[in-house]
Amino acid sequence: MQAARSIEIVEVGPRDGLENETAELTTAVKLEFIRRAVDAGVRRIEVASFVNPRRVPRMADAEAIFAGLPRRADAIYGGLVLNRAGFDRAAAAGCREIGMVVFSTDEFNRRNQGVTSAESIRTWREISSAARATGIRAQVTLSAAFGCPFEGEVPVSRVVEIARAVAEAAPFEIAIADTIGVAVPGQVSEIFGRVAEALPRMALRGHFHNTRNTGLANAYAAVMAGAQVLDASLGGLGGCPFAPAATGNIPTEDLVYMLGRMGIETGVDLERAIDTARWIEQHVGHAVPGMLAKAGPFPGARRAAG
Ligand code: ZN
């Protein structure tokens, strides 16, 4: 398999990133963050989650976020939904892309959604057909595909089986996610390879957390295994609920740098992405884990030594 000439980046900082940060940002700051991401050239952004606000209070402003988004025909703003009620809220808010999540193990799925993986797959089918009926595009994420905090190792056959099951409801894309940040590149090659073999026409997206510093290596392995889309968060915002001191998603600007130097287009302006990572740093109350925000681009403007 040859690497794609271009990779689409989905900015997940406003949702996955901020949901796992300690600091709680105002709706206005979140909207400014989204505007800066769009200005940097990102064209797909996960901006909100339509989950029960009692369970995830900091995502309670999903409707306000959608009402305040920069109006651009060339940008797609995605919303996370976990059930029919969430889908109805997303549709009412004007969301044009929804993402549903199915965990690769029953125990993780139960703790997150209160039901088994099979029951979430049934919900996904229902949401997918509701989305089709209303002209909203729908994708699905296989979470904890590389390891589960409760069940441990996840058999590759299990991931392939769930991928086949969710594919029956025709998502436009399937994401394979390392939710807790335990994957290594060899495993990424194997799982992406096996899912691509089972579903040769399906677009695959990678979602990696840098919890154990293997995030960018995993992203590279996914690209080489045929992934066309990667999730990332500016600055590397976020965390991991199962590793309290962990860093978040792979940093968007670090990914843009790596892919750009490999000759792979992302459409994202590296300098602007770095500026945004440095800007969000002031709002989350700590230095962002992304390395490009510290080191700067290369080749770049000559800087004074010292
Ligand atoms: Zn995540």
Task: State the pLDDT confidence band at 1, using cuts at 50, 70 and 90.
Answer: low
CA dist list (Å): 130 to 77, 116, 225: 18, 21, 32
The predicted pLDDT at position 56 comes to 84
Asked whether the predicted pLDDT for residue 2 surpasses 80, the reply is no
CA gap 139, 171 in Å, rounded: 5
Mean pLDDT in residue range 99-111: 96
185-211 pLDDT tens trace: 999 999 999 999 999 999 999 999 999
Per-residue three-class SS string for 242-277:
CCCCCCCECEHHHHHHHHHHCCCECCCCHHHHHHHH
List beta partners, residue 8: 229
Task: State the pLDDT confidence band at 3, using cuts at 50, 70 and 90.
Answer: confident
Q: What is the pTM of this model?
A: 0.96
Task: State the pLDDT confidence band at 55, using cuts at 50, 70 and 90.
Answer: confident
The predicted pLDDT at position 303 comes to 54
Q: How far is the CA of 152 from the centre of ligand 1 (A)?
A: 18
Q: How far is the CA of 16 from the centre of ligand 1 (A)?
A: 6
Say if residues 138 and 131 touch (Cβ distance below 8 Å): yes
The Cα angle at residue 65 between residues 131 and 32, in degrees rounded to 5: 130
Q: How far is the CA of 208 from the centre of ligand 1 (A)?
A: 7
Mean pLDDT in residue range 140-162: 97
Of the residues 165, 240, 258, 277, which is catalytic? 240
Q: Which two tokens stand for residue 56?
A: 């995830």
Q: How far is the CA of 116 from the centre of ligand 1 (A)?
A: 20
74-96 pLDDT tens trace: 999 999 999 999 999 999 999 99
Q: How far is the CA of 21 from the centre of ligand 1 (A)?
A: 12
- Domain ranges within the chain, ordered by starting residue: 8-294
Supply the Cα-derived Rg of the chain in whole angstroms: 18
CA gap 270, 257 in Å, rounded: 7
Third-level CATH fold of 8-294: TIM Barrel (3.20.20)
Residues, Cβ < 5 Å to ion ligand 1: 16
Mean pLDDT in residue range 53-70: 92
CA gap 117, 296 in Å, rounded: 43
User: Average pLDDT, whole number, for the chain?
Assistant: 95
CA gap 143, 127 in Å, rounded: 18
In the residue annotation, 95 being an active-site residue is answered as no
Q: How far is the CA of 10 from the centre of ligand 1 (A)?
A: 12
Q: How far is the CA of 239 from the centre of ligand 1 (A)?
A: 8
CA gap 263, 298 in Å, rounded: 14
Work out the percent of the chain whose per-residue pLDDT is above 70. Answer: 97
CA gap 32, 3 in Å, rounded: 33
Helix axes 185-198, 156-167, angle to 10 degrees: 40
Asked whether the predicted pLDDT for residue 223 surpasses 50, the reply is yes
Say if residues 25 and 11 touch (Cβ distance below 8 Å): no
Say if residues 266 and 260 touch (Cβ distance below 8 Å): yes
Instruction: Give backbone dihedrals phi and psi of 11, rounded to 5 degrees, phi first.
Output: -80, 115
